Structure 1
Amino acid sequence: MQPDRAARAPSWSELEGIRLLRGVATALVRLGDSYGTESLSHPYPTEAQQALDATVLACLLLKADPPESLPDLIQWAADLPVEAWPFALPADALRSGSQLLDRGTRQPTQLCYEWAVDGERSAALSEQPFMAAAARRCREEDYPEAYQAFRRLLIRRPVLTDRDLVTLPGAHLGDLEPLRDLLRDIYQPVPASYIHPGRGVCTACARCGTLLHPTTKGGMWCERQICQKRDSVRAGREYRTDHDGGINLLIRPLRQWVSAPGIQELRLARRLTKAGADVELWPDYGAYGMRVLLADGTAWAVEHKDWTTPALLGRRAVPPRSGPPHDRCVWVVPASRLSEQPNFRATFERYRQGASPHLVTDSELALAVREASGSVSSGARSDAPVTRSPDDESKGALF
């Protein structure tokens, strides 16, 4: 049943709507990871039951028709853009037309993950526990090469066979040996939802390498939004489920927050190196994304991010707490984000706090590097990074 949005109680605050959206997003991610939103069983996970109860209560307070069950709530998430739900949200909290579940696969979207990881108890949904464990082990061994190899593996190989998990540490000349046990924790047997019915194979995305989801209409869906935005999702390598002992897929938090942005991060590093910078990836065991040393001697601490929700990204913007010294810290997003959402930077700036990093595009950063190297005159620059005005400091963030 779809919600009746004719009446909205004026007493219902946007803050309550934000809390409810976080709760629903967290529940959907938990369901997708543990059960699969397409096949539910009782009893429901605690987060799912709490999200259903909270949504029903909100609808009753707002005099809107509530979802009748958890499958009904999932139907909402797959069929309705979030702004069509009955509760109020800030105008800049999300992009129009955004959905929590993909309609064809019932899998959590990137937006869903962004809202889930924004919750108070979101550590298990983020990459941080796993990356911190890897950094700690490599630091104990005084082995930065192992951490570098680990990051590159997550970016380039989201799919590994059982044989790979046994042979890779040795194949990398020992670089991955300190992380052998961790690899077994983060590469898990491929879920059934990725397997083609009747064929017993999984298909990788030709662009990013992660596995594609078969859709209800016989198509293929990639969880990476940047792959979806192309003309069509391109099918790549096929894996038999019994190939080399079985197929393992990197867990979603690491695919979402390390592998996906990492592809663009490596591309940006090559671009900056070609423009004349000295680039060090993941310095000091991943203290930040890359240290960019310009030709004029200044160093930038750079984090590459690709989020759909600039408000949530702005809330998370913090300077590095460790790592090599730097003169400036910036967060970088693809220029396409600003083309698609003209208010992306303004919204990010409105929600970031104090001395946190400013936002630039990959194109702006590359231009700054070329200017520093003398290959572009400063007068030719037309898209310089926007700095925050003093007036912006007084603008409070709602959530």
Structure 2
Amino acid sequence: MPLLRTVATAVVHLSHVDNPGTFALPYPDSAQSALDSMVLTCLLLKAEPPRSVPQLVDWCTLRTVDNWVFPIPPGVAPPGSHLVDPTTRQPTQLCYEWADSDDTGLRRTGEENMHAVAAICREENCPEIYHAFRELLIKNPVLTGRELATLAARGKGLELLQQQIRAIYLPAPVHHMNSRIRTFTACGRCRFLLHRTLEGALVCERDACRSQGPVRRGREYGAEDSGGVFLLIRPLRQWVASPGHVELHLAKSLESVRAKVQLWPSYGSYGLHIVLPEGRSWAVEIKDWSSGALLGRTAVLPPQDPPYDRCVWAVPRGRVRAHHSYRDEFFRHSTGAARSGPDLVSTDDLRRAVRTIVAGAGAPSRTEPPFAPEGLF
């Protein structure tokens, strides 16, 4: 597992080179370290090693993670998955999960950005500005230069966070652009910029969007129009904006059955605070990881702010339907989660449980919500 994490981290770092066409040696330290470790492992196993960093990247593109020269623990990667998408030659969501599977990954960068924003809003005693900021990341992961410069005109207090916002929206990478007509295309589902495949087709980086069928084209951006095109940084797209779509939808559906829901309470202590009849409350976090095992390694309870009686992590149903051992792997790789950490359920089962409890208000009290015995289905 440490070797897989080392390789994934190297792939992510290589993908962040601003202009690969002008890349010059030496390679980043992480890439050289990954190559050295892989070569040593192959020699110990008497297998043919990759002979260069480009060959190592080819391995990550052409070989599925469960078909490398060394065995990996069961469940740490979905069968048939890659670290590099063969169609776009960009790191997959799984690759980012592996690169972030310790406390030093890019996810930490995103958390630091969110903590800085929360600290400013808390100091100003303005939770509504924090909410406006979260909604900006979810609903506007792409901004033109003009939109970025005129956020203050929205009247939501975002001018207070202008410096922080400019640090997390960076010029859109060229691999998203149609170089012939110099345009970028957003996904019609999540509004992230679509990636261009080697054949010139368009795909979304989100597994959730890909699983819904053919790509849906959204807004078109001219590369030179309106001051350029700026894209939310990948850690915040993957760990904040992507689950944020589910959080907004879930909050709306729970409110429709008369549950009391608060989004991002206490400046983002956790995702949703749900108050149930008789005063019980749940802390809910939306988690959309391709690997249940890697998700399990992050399983810790959020702070009791505001207090809650139970913590639930909700995973989109598509994840667990595609990998039936998802929940088992989550608990197998978690540290004490099975005893004292968060429960893991599907978003559908969470909705059903809340709906049942609210509808049965006044009936004999339950100590546990009516999740399906299997937990996820």
CA distance in 1: counterparts of 2:250 and 2:346, whole angstroms: 11
Query: Could you tell me which residue of structure 1 aligns to residue 351 of structure 2?
Result: 366
Gaps of at least 5 residues in structure 1 are 1-17, 388-399
Query: Could you tell me which residue of structure 2 aligns to residue 116 of structure 1?
Result: 99
Gaps of at least 5 residues in structure 2 are 365-369
CA distance in 1: counterparts of 2:291 and 2:133, whole angstroms: 28
Alignment TM-score, normalising by the size of structure 2: 0.93
Cα gap change, 1:83/1:39 in structure 2, threshold over 3 Å: closer, same or farther? farther
How far does the alpha carbon of each residue in 1:209-247 deviate from its partner, in whole angstroms, 9 at most, with x for none? 010111111211211001111221111111001121111
How far does the alpha carbon of each residue in 1:336-388 deviate from its partner, in whole angstroms, 9 at most, with x for none? 2221111111111222222111101111111111111126999xx6725749x
Cα gap change, 1:326/1:385 in structure 2, threshold over 3 Å: closer, same or farther? farther
Could you tell me whether the CA contact under 8 Å between 2:183 and 2:222 is conserved in 1? yes
CA distance in 2: counterparts of 1:36 and 1:109, whole angstroms: 20
Q: Give matches, 1:1-399, under 5 Å.
A: 18-35=1-18, 40-123=23-106, 126-171=109-154, 173-354=155-336, 355-374=340-359, 383-384=372-373, 386=375
Partner amino acid for 2:294? L
Deviation at 1:119, TM superposition (A): 2.9
Query: Could you tell me which residue of structure 1 aligns to residue 367 of structure 2?
Result: none
How far does the alpha carbon of each residue in 1:283-321 deviate from its partner, in whole angstroms, 9 at most, with x for none? 000001110111332100000001110011111111112
Deviation at 1:30, TM superposition (A): 1.1
CA distance in 1: counterparts of 2:93 and 2:255, whole angstroms: 30
Could you tell me whether the CA contact under 8 Å between 1:188 and 1:250 is conserved in 2? yes
CA distance in 2: counterparts of 1:340 and 1:37, whole angstroms: 35
Partner amino acid for 2:292? P
Q: Percent identity?
A: 46
Cα gap change, 1:245/1:36 in structure 2, threshold over 3 Å: closer, same or farther? closer
The residue matched to 2:58 in structure 1 has which SS? helix
Deviation at 1:255, TM superposition (A): 0.5
Deviation at 1:91, TM superposition (A): 1.2
Could you tell me whether the CA contact under 8 Å between 1:295 and 1:372 is conserved in 2? yes
How far does the alpha carbon of each residue in 1:70-101 deviate from its partner, in whole angstroms, 9 at most, with x for none? 11111111111011111221112111101001
CA distance in 2: counterparts of 1:36 and 1:106, whole angstroms: 14
Deviation at 1:39, TM superposition (A): 7.5
Between 1:153-162 and 1:362-371, the stretch displaced more is 362-371
CA distance in 2: counterparts of 1:41 and 1:277, whole angstroms: 57
Query: Could you tell me which residue of structure 2 aligns to residue 397 of structure 1?
Result: none
Instruction: Give RMSD over aligned pairs.
Output: 2.2
Q: How many residues align?
A: 369
Could you tell me whether the CA contact under 8 Å between 1:333 and 1:360 is conserved in 2? yes
How far does the alpha carbon of each residue in 1:117-172 deviate from its partner, in whole angstroms, 9 at most, with x for none? 0135215664211111111111111111111000000000000011111111231x
Partner amino acid for 1:194? H
CA distance in 2: counterparts of 1:374 and 1:174, whole angstroms: 36
Deviation at 1:41, TM superposition (A): 3.2
CA distance in 2: counterparts of 1:289 and 1:311, whole angstroms: 21
Could you tell me whether the CA contact under 8 Å between 1:359 and 1:385 is conserved in 2? no
The residue matched to 2:261 in structure 1 has which SS? strand
How far does the alpha carbon of each residue in 1:43-90 deviate from its partner, in whole angstroms, 9 at most, with x for none? 211111111111111111111111111111111111110111112211
Alignment TM-score, normalising by the size of structure 1: 0.88
